[in-house]
A and B are shown apart, each in its own frame.
Chain A
Amino acid sequence: MTAIVHHPSNSLLLDYAAGTLDEASSLLIATHLTLCPHCRAEVAAAEAIGGSLLDDLPAAPLRPGALDAVMARLAAPAEQPTLRKPQPSTWLPRPLTERLGGDDPSLWKWRWLGPGLADLPLVSDRNRPSARMVRLTPGTGLPPHDHGGRELTLVLRGAFGDRFGRFGRGDVEETYPDMHHEPVALEGEVCIGLVVTDARLRFDGFIARAMQTFTGV
């Protein structure tokens, strides 16, 4: 495996560590962290900052009797959340395996978007960033677009390239408004990635725009 070249910004890692990052972006960061020891160390450092800030906060006294109330509950068994553990995967990080139910892409419920292009929504909420799996066959590209907001792309399989570089397994591309690009899947494996957008993409062409209306991308 080639090493990861493109990491998410410190700003995103800090938001993730602070717990203020939205669910869709957090899903992408947790997936990247599984593949990237470098960013795991960054997040650990950011969490240590959080711990240090917590230690230094002026106390907000609890109600009288709070300690006794908690002490009285210590013996009670914890409610076990019935989380169904997915079959572990050697290539697909657990945060995604959980949401997809398994790691075999041929069994996922892809939506056809055009020749060589399919997607699968994972987190969608009208007013918040959304996350989707995207599948591109080699040579296929996304229509040229720029962004009303931030776009994050994490590659899980295969690779794509655009004017910002080559992005392979584990790499994260972080683009902002007016960073126009035209990602194309490179030769070799089918490219599978996780894409998080915090606003609708703005595609250039008429057909692409019509497709956008139709699919809600």
Chain B
Amino acid sequence: MNAHIQAIAATQDRSAFAALFSHYAPRVKAYLIRLGCPDGQAEELAQETMLAVWRKADRFDPAKAAAGTWIFTIARNLRIDQVRRERRPELDPDDPALVPAPAPEADLVLQAKQHHVLVQNALQALPPDQARVIALSFFEDKPHGEIAGELGLPLGTVKSRIRLAFARLRAALEQTS
């Protein structure tokens, strides 16, 4: 999938775009439906997301993120912009105020493909109660306070599950870097 995005950036390769589209557009649509978008809006935003993938392909950096991660962030930002009608505050990598990482590895320079497999394995290895809280964080448009209420758990329990899950994921990612 990374190669497809790079082919779009290099040669505006339409067949690479079609391949990306057939894999990601239905998943982006599913993601938006999970977050409560009606079918028509999810369809429209999934198409807009893929259009943005085409237009921003030259900004894709496979050393920083896997294709799925990059497309996830585009869909996420479009939803905030169009559904919540807010501008997502984001850091600017060229900001002169940006404090650089002391060593390059701190900014996760794992090759994206390897990274992606590691994240998937680590997610699957999480205890179910931790995995559930992590998945709900992405698929419910609610902060953790409300998710805790829904699960009938104290916020502290939800937060400690997240802390534990993160520690495991970071450990899994750092093992090979």
Query: Interface of A with B (CB < 8 Å)?
Result: 1, 9-11, 14-15, 18-23, 26-27, 29-31, 33-38, 40-42, 44-63, 66-67, 69-71, 73-74, 78, 88-95, 150, 170, 176
Contact = CB atoms under 8 A, between A and B. Distances in A.
Nearest to A89: B97
Nearest to B69: A51
B57 to A, nearest CB: 11
Q: Chain B interface: which size bin?
A: 35 or more
Nearest to A19: B76
* Majority DSSP secondary structure for residues of A touching B: helix
B80 interface: yes
23 contacts: A1-B99, A9-B162, A9-B163, A10-B166, A19-B88, A30-B90, A37-B102, A37-B107, A40-B101, A44-B107, A47-B65, A51-B67, A51-B73, A52-B120, A53-B72, A54-B75, A59-B26, A60-B27, A67-B22, A88-B96, A94-B91, A94-B92, A95-B90
Nearest to A103: B97
B100 A45 contact: no
Secondary structure at chain B's binding surface: helix, strand, loop or mixed?
A: helix
Which of B21, B97, B101, B120: most chain A CB closer than 10 A?
B97
Nearest to A93: B97
B153 interface: no
Interface in B116-170: 116, 119-120, 123, 134-135, 137-145, 155, 158-159, 162-163, 166, 169-170
Contact of B140 (A20, A31, A71): A20
Contacts of B170: 42, 45
